[in-house]
Amino acid sequence: MNRALRGEYLAAMNLESWVLRAHPVAGTAAAPAASALRETGLDWPQLRERVAGCTRCALSATRTQTVFGVGNLQADWLIVGEAPGAEEDRQGEPFVGRAGQLLNSMLRAIGLSREQVFIANVLKCRPPGNRDPAPQEIAECLPYLERQIALIKPKIMLAVGRIASHALLQTDVPLGRLRQQVHAFGASRVPLVVTYHPAYLLRTPADKRKAWEDLKFARGVCARV
């Protein structure tokens, strides 16, 4: 990995540089999809059109626009957050602003660019006031993400944040206990690793070191797939 890029990430995370150590891969745990695929057979243009016109839940009445996702349609890495925020709702792209900049630095630290991965959210619409997504909203929206996963066929999924992790793994186990494990998502059992959301890391810099360990762990998992 380019040392300058790694240094940029470590500087953003306020961490010192150290030598990477090998990390054993934990055992996998099954995580079935939250709902049946309702978008089976749709290609990328059809899926994008379906998302743009979606009215399955009340969020369609308050959004500026849907946030479909962005990146490489054949990516090895799929990054999944919880839902768009105010700026994402305005721009139509996930992870922009300070949290997006930190995510970009995190990716560069493991040798990836934003353009190499695909970035999406569990929800395609912003909940008013950035409140937590409701269970019914997740149930209605998750099939869109499931279809994106089927089309991309990623080697690994990185769930960032408590809400995304709980929605994808159908659990309420604290995020700290989900870290440093290889979970599996859906019928295709895509390896899934959990870490902290960049917005949380901006508020809680003490946990940035843990996030760095998660990134190294995920990189090791991907290398073995």
What is the residue extent of each domain of the chain?
A: 3-9+26-224
pLDDT at 8: 55
Q: At CA 171, angle to CA 165 and CA 175, rounded to 5?
A: 50
Mean pLDDT by 10 residues, the chain (225 residues): 52 46 36 52 96 96 98 98 96 95 96 97 96 96 96 98 97 97 94 97 96 97 94
What's the angle, vertex CA 212, arms to CA 17 and CA 105, rounded to 5? Answer: 85
pLDDT for 39 equals 79
> Who's near 118: CB < 8 A, 6+ residues apart?
69, 70, 71, 72, 73, 75, 77, 78, 79, 148, 152, 154
Q: Where are the alpha helices (DSSP H) in the chain?
A: 3-12, 44-52, 86-91, 97-109, 135-152, 162-169, 175-178, 198-203, 208-224
3-9+26-224 to CATH, choices 2.60.110.10, 3.40.470.10, 3.60.20.10, 3.40.50.300: 3.40.470.10
Which residues sit opposite 185 in a β-bridge?
A: 190
CB 156 within 8 A of CB 86: no
